[in-house]
Structure 1
Amino acid sequence: MTTAPATDLRTSTDLDAIRGDLLDVYAEVRAPLLHLPNYAVTAFGERIDRHAIEPGFTAVLAYAAGQPVGYAYGNTIEHGDRYWQRTSPTPAEKFTGHPAMALKEIGVRPAWRKTGTARRIHDALLAARDEKYVTLMVNPMAGDGKVHTLYKSWGYVDIGRSQPSPASPVLTVMIRTSR
């Protein structure tokens, strides 16, 4: 990994202020998959609109020279949330018995990958959170498994599988402590 180039990390709880930047970065990050229904920009837009009205929504965007280069966002999930209901096998009560941070999306433009930018965005998103655990879902085959391996290097462990929608692939559910 090279040294992270200078970026300005901005945190927002207001989707209206950042929606265009999120969609722009997402379109480039997911460009090879945009032909698949679950990865279409419109599907992402619908998901983020839904997630932004859920409790605890927060996003962090990284900017370089005034242009967005990466993002992460998530929200709080509670015991009984559909996130946990779709996870198989049922996660341990120590993870689901209290609020957790669900990292819903993270993406960095290709030119900014392998610079530490994704980790900086991730850590900035978690810095202001009170939840004990953070969970995410990853396609275990994304980047030929490299993304899954990256999350493991950040301290995440596999706890199950989930298929959030019929158009979605089966994802690996991972979790770690927030700090």
Structure 2
Amino acid sequence: MNGLHFTHYSAAASRQYRSVVEDIYRRSYREAIDSGHTFDSPEAFMHRFDAYTDPTRESGIELVIVYLNDVSIGQTWGWPLTPNTAWWDGLTLDGPLAANGDFIRESGTRTFALSEIMVDQSYAGRGLAHRLHDELLAGRTEDRATLLVEPENDRAYAAYRRWGWARVGRLTPSWPDAPTFDVLLMALASRNTTIRGAAST
């Protein structure tokens, strides 16, 4: 696709693009929004976004927006997990990992949490989600990355597997009306680490 460009934004800059973030969400998740599920409502989504970019939280969030001829058509973001992170609260690990108490210990440089990837439905199926994924992770220096995916989201799940992710457990976030997600993990090439014992289901 000619005319594409990817722009990275810090937490402070991300707050200035709040209306753009919401607009992309509305164009990317029309069916989920129409379902009426509280967790998927634009209001709930933006409440979570505001928490992620709260200046008192210092999450270190990085937002990437892809533009086509200056029109925003997709976005992704994430942040490094700090020692006091609540990300792993409620985690149930698979198999041998369940006995590994070190799994959830964070330092601020160990794990990058990839929170969202979305593309305007008018541009779906053109590889933009993968390009956003790679654009966000390419410059990360953490050992590993993690993300959450709904088990029944077959299309996204299949894509993540192709991109190198493996399931390690399940987790229900503390957000109101949150579903239970599968937890995926991927070693980041920048450190050439490996994920041992990750279950593939």
Give the TM-score of the pair, scaled to structure 1.
Answer: 0.89
Matched, 1:86 2:87: no
Which amino acid in structure 2 is aligned with residue 74 of structure 1? G
Per-residue CA deviations over 1:28-54 (Å, capped at 9, x if unaligned) read 211111121001111111101111234
5+ long unaligned stretches in structure 2: 190-201
Per-residue CA deviations over 1:88-144 (Å, capped at 9, x if unaligned) read 1258435644431101111011122221111111111112221111100001112xx
Tell me the CA shift for residue 79 of structure 1: 4.2
Counterpart residue number, 2:16: 17
The structure 1 segments of at least 4 consecutive aligned residues displaced by more than 3 Å after TM superposition are 94-98
Larger-Rg structure: 2
Counterpart residue number, 1:110: 121
Tell me the CA shift for residue 71 of structure 1: 0.3
Greater Cα offset, 52-61 or 77-86: 77-86
Counterpart residue number, 1:42: 43
Alignment of 1:42-61 (within 5 A): 42-53=43-54, 54-61=58-65
Tell me the CA shift for residue 6 of structure 1: 3.8
Which amino acid in structure 2 is aligned with residue 116 of structure 1? G
5+ long unaligned stretches in structure 1: none
CA RMSD for the aligned pairs? 1.9
Q: Sequence identity, in percent?
A: 24
Give the TM-score of the pair, scaled to structure 2.
Answer: 0.80
- Contact 1:76/1:101 (8 A) holds in 2: yes
Tell me the CA shift for residue 57 of structure 1: 0.5
- Contact 1:84/1:91 (8 A) holds in 2: no
Higher share in helix: 1
